[in-house]
Structure 1
Amino acid sequence: MEQQVTTRGVGLQYGVIAGVVMIIYGLVLQLTGLVFESWASWINYIFLAVVIFLAHKKYKEDGDGFLSFGQGLGIGFWISLVGGVISSVFSFIYITFVDPTFVETMMEKARYNMEEQGTPDAQIDQAMAITEKFMNPGMMFVFGIVGVLFFGFILSLIVSAITKKTDPQLEV
């Protein structure tokens, strides 16, 4: 009996790939010292878009050759969810056990950047107090998943618009 391809199945499979890619890229950023460069973190989303594209291609190849816009969004959702959870679990473990000074270093970098921009001390202190409430491994775990889901949705909209191939028999 032939197994039918599903959006969830492809999304879960490629979500694991996305999570592993995000972990490897994060480690490369750590090892090269680029982890605090804002431009470097955005490259993760290029990887995510490529994984979504490849998953759409796989879905069409293993299925009937078609992919609706909604199916593309569904695949992107599962990829983003699984990839976000995997990379966030890794980040939580890394920040909690491997490098507990990571958050402190990140806060120092943020303060330095604000000082370089000429932000008044009172405003820096206020911003740091607010930021400190959210800069703990638990909150970073949650925001990591939410962030990947949000940007994954945006990327899925774009990639799905490009890769969709509607079955002409279903068009009215």
Structure 2
Amino acid sequence: MKQTVQKYGLYGLLTGFIIFIIHLVIGINNFDNSTNEILGYVSIFLSLSFIYFGIKHYRDQINNGLISLGKAIAIGILISLLVGLGIAIADFMYTKFIDPSFFSNYEQHLIEQGKEDEIIKMTSSTAAIFMLALVTIIGFIISLISALILQRK
């Protein structure tokens, strides 16, 4: 199980980093905040798609075509933790070093749209922890769905 989690977690992590770098090269400032948010969620879902493939690989190649619901969910959550860690690190690096004014610019954007009540004071560290938690929660949902599809007793 450990090798499957490491392999597919690394694939998901690298996918997230590659999409992040492409996004930086294209230019985050070329898109509005809504487009950047959508691209961020797309990168999360693409990175987490490796949960399904990791569970399927473990079932078919390692465990003789069988996998329980619990084992499949465990594999999926562990993969999502690796992906979440990678996304959290990328988010931290971006908001701390690449664009340290990100949060103040985003607050200004919300004020201009009349959404002052949506402002939450964030730092690079709290944003990274939030992203880790968000990716893990989404990963759990994907793990559950994948486990239900792939389980064989």
Instruction: Tell me, yes or no, whether TM beats 0.5.
Output: yes
Taking the aligned partners of 2:83 and 2:3, their CA distance within structure 1 comes to 14
Partner of 1:50: 49
Aligned partner of residue 100 in structure 2, secondary structure: coil
Do residues 16 (structure 1) and 10 (structure 2) align?
yes
Residue identity opposite 2:21 in structure 1:
L
TM-score, structure 2 length as denominator? Answer: 0.83
* 1:91-127 Cα shifts (integer Å, max 9, x gaps): 2122211221222232233333x33xxx5xxxx2x44
**What is the number of equivalent residue pairs in this alignment?**
147
- Greater Rg by CA: 1
- Per the TM alignment, residue 56 of structure 1 is displaced from its structure 2 partner at its CA by 1.5
Do residues 155 (structure 1) and 152 (structure 2) align?
no
Counterparts in 2 of 1:35 and 1:77: CA distance versus 1, 3 Å:
farther
Aligned partner of residue 67 in structure 1, secondary structure: coil
- Per the TM alignment, residue 138 of structure 1 is displaced from its structure 2 partner at its CA by 0.7
2:88 and 2:128 in contact (8 A); partners too: yes
Taking the aligned partners of 1:150 and 1:21, their CA distance within structure 2 comes to 19
1:26 and 1:35 in contact (8 A); partners too: no
Aligned partner of residue 33 in structure 2, secondary structure: coil
Aligned partner of residue 85 in structure 1, secondary structure: helix
Unmatched runs of 5 consecutive residues or more in structure 1: 1-5, 167-172
RMSD between aligned residues: 2.1
- Per the TM alignment, residue 48 of structure 1 is displaced from its structure 2 partner at its CA by 3.7
Partner of 1:36: 33
Residue identity opposite 1:101 in structure 2:
S
**By percentage of residues, which structure has more helix?**
2
Counterparts in 2 of 1:11 and 1:110: CA distance versus 1, 3 Å:
farther
Aligned partner of residue 83 in structure 1, secondary structure: helix
* 1:31-85 Cα shifts (integer Å, max 9, x gaps): 3434732332321343144211111121123211212111110111111111111
Counterparts in 2 of 1:158 and 1:65: CA distance versus 1, 3 Å:
same
Identity of aligned pairs, percent?
A: 21
Q: Which moved more, 1:30-39 or 1:147-156?
A: 30-39
Partner of 1:27: 21
4+ residue runs over 3 A deviation: 32-35
1:29 and 1:35 in contact (8 A); partners too: no
Counterparts in 2 of 1:35 and 1:87: CA distance versus 1, 3 Å:
farther
Residue identity opposite 2:103 in structure 1:
V
Partner of 1:81: 81
Taking the aligned partners of 2:107 and 2:10, their CA distance within structure 1 comes to 30
Residue identity opposite 1:95 in structure 2:
T
